[in-house]
């Protein structure tokens, strides 16, 4: 066992369990004085483009909905590798946020530099305060994830989600709109995550064992949960070499349903915020889809609220998560998906910390 693993068999599992502490540090780092440059950066911003790749782009997809719903700012999320090909006339209207764990990702750094050339406001979210992006952006926010040694992103992803939520909170406050109340809610979420991690580890290990023979998965979610479906699929692909795709739940019947059958498991994001009418509507549609897919014979793994008897009755296996506000549920529900990718990988004898053909930081295009 490598030095520093502290009893964990792999860095990926250790880093999954480090997420509560990483979130604690990230929340603590952003008091009013630190956020003053962010408030100045947000002044006059009506439109934002988020440029990122991989897991960081999925964090951007969550932020897109939070910023639009909470702060009324129009957001587009662009693949960093495609950003440089967009119309300059169109891009000049927007402020630009780049998101990268390393702060050195070649495509994302190129997007940042193009934005600066066009005179756009730029903000970087990275995990390395001394990185090129952190130095070159107008404003830089650093996640406090600490060094992440496994190639699959875990704690860097959830801390990105938190920082983007902090940004949305600042934007909402600046516009006199209702706040999420991060300073009260996030500590509760962190406490819950810390308490639930051992339970998730046990439940997910069993679910992964039952699905170990599957060769393709579909991950489904609506709203902010679609982004987490994409992230769950990416984690499974890069960790275990199993084909997986993430789709909006409502798109399944527009083509992908042809793949669904007894040999195509579905991982369905079925959490709900009962205090949010739109979340409840989304949940009801997910339950209907789950019922339809059960009739087609598809094995279903559901990520659902604690005590959800409806989801439990329809799914073949269920991983429960504690209740949370709609826009913060992704921070909790992604953790079981990280664990699922981990257990699927080690079940196939794969070095989950160093998957083939991948590197931690893609510094060449």
Do 186-346 and 11-180 fall under one CATH topology? yes
The pLDDT value recorded for residue 362 is 59
Which tens digit of pLDDT belongs to each residue from 169-178? Answer: 999 999 999 8
Which tens digit of pLDDT belongs to each residue from 282-322? Answer: 999 999 999 999 999 999 999 999 999 999 999 999 999 99
Q: Are 283 and 268 in contact (CB under 8 A)?
A: no
The mean pLDDT of the chain is 93
Q: Are 330 and 271 in contact (CB under 8 A)?
A: no
The pLDDT value recorded for residue 91 is 63
The pLDDT value recorded for residue 35 is 87
The pLDDT value recorded for residue 242 is 97
- The rounded percent of the chain whose pLDDT value lies above 90 is 85
Residues 6+ apart with CB under 8 A from 323: 273, 274, 305, 306
> Domain boundaries in the chain?
11-180, 186-346
SS3 122: strand
pLDDT over 70 (residue 89): no
Sequential DSSP letters for 198-243: HHHHHHHHHHHHHTTT--EEEEEE-THHHHHHHHHHHHHHHHH--E
Distance CA 160, CA 141 (A): 10
Distance CA 232, CA 78 (A): 19
**CATH ID of 11-180, from 3.40.50.300, 3.40.50.10490, 3.10.105.10, 3.40.50.11440:** 3.40.50.10490
Question: Would you identify the CATH topology of the domain 186-346?
Answer: Rossmann fold (3.40.50)
The pLDDT value recorded for residue 4 is 84
The pLDDT value recorded for residue 92 is 66
> Residue 78's pLDDT band (boundaries 50, 70, 90)?
very high
pLDDT over 60 (residue 1): no
Q: What angle do CA 263, 264, 267 make, to 5 degrees?
A: 135
pLDDT over 90 (residue 255): no
Dihedrals phi, psi of 221, to nearest 5 degrees:
-160, 160
The pLDDT value recorded for residue 6 is 86
Distance CA 72, CA 278 (A): 17
Rounded mean pLDDT of 220-241? 98
């Amino acid at each position: 066992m490598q030095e520093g693993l502290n009893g964990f068999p792999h860095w990926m599992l250790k880093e999954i369990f480090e997420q509560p502490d990483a979130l604690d540090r990230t929340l603590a780092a952003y008091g009013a004085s630190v956020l003053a440059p962010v408030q100045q950066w947000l002044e006059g911003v009506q439109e934002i483009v988020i440029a990122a790749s991989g897991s960081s782009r999925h964090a951007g997809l969550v932020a897109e909905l939070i910023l639009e719903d909470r702060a009324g700012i129009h957001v587009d999320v662009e693949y960093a590798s495609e950003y440089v090909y967009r119309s300059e006339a169109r891009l000049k209207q927007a402020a630009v946020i780049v998101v990268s764990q390393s702060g050195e990702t070649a495509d994302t750094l190129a997007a940042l530099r193009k934005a600066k050339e066009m005179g756009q406001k730029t903000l970087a979210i990275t995990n390395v305060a001394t990185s090129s992006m952190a130095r070159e952006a107008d404003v830089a926010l650093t996640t406090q994830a600490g060094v992440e040694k496994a190639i699959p992103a875990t704690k860097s992803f959830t801390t990105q989600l938190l920082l983007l939520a902090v940004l949305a909170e600042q934007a909402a406050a600046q516009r006199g709109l209702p706040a999420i109340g991060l300073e009260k809610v996030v500590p509760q979420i962190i406490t819950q995550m810390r308490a639930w991690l051992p339970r998730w580890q046990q439940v997910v290990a069993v679910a992964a064992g039952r699905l170990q023979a599957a060769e393709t998965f579909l991950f489904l979610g609506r709203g902010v949960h679609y982004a987490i479906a994409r992230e769950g699929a990416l984690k499974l692909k890069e960790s275990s070499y199993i084909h997986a795709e993430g789709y909006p739940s409502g798109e399944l019947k527009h083509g992908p349903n042809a793949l669904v059958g007894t040999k195509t498991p579905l991982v369905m994001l079925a959490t709900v915020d009962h205090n949010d009418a739109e979340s409840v509507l989304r949940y009801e549609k997910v339950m209907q889809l789950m019922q339809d897919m059960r009739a087609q014979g598809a094995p279903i793994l559901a990520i659902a609220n604690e005590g959800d008897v409806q989801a439990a009755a329809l799914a073949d296996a269920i991983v429960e998560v504690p209740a949370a506000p709609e826009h913060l549920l992704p921070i909790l529900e992604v953790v079981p998906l990280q664990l699922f990718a981990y257990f699927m990988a080690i079940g196939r004898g794969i070095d989950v910390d160093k998957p083939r053909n991948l590197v931690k930081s893609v510094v060449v295009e």
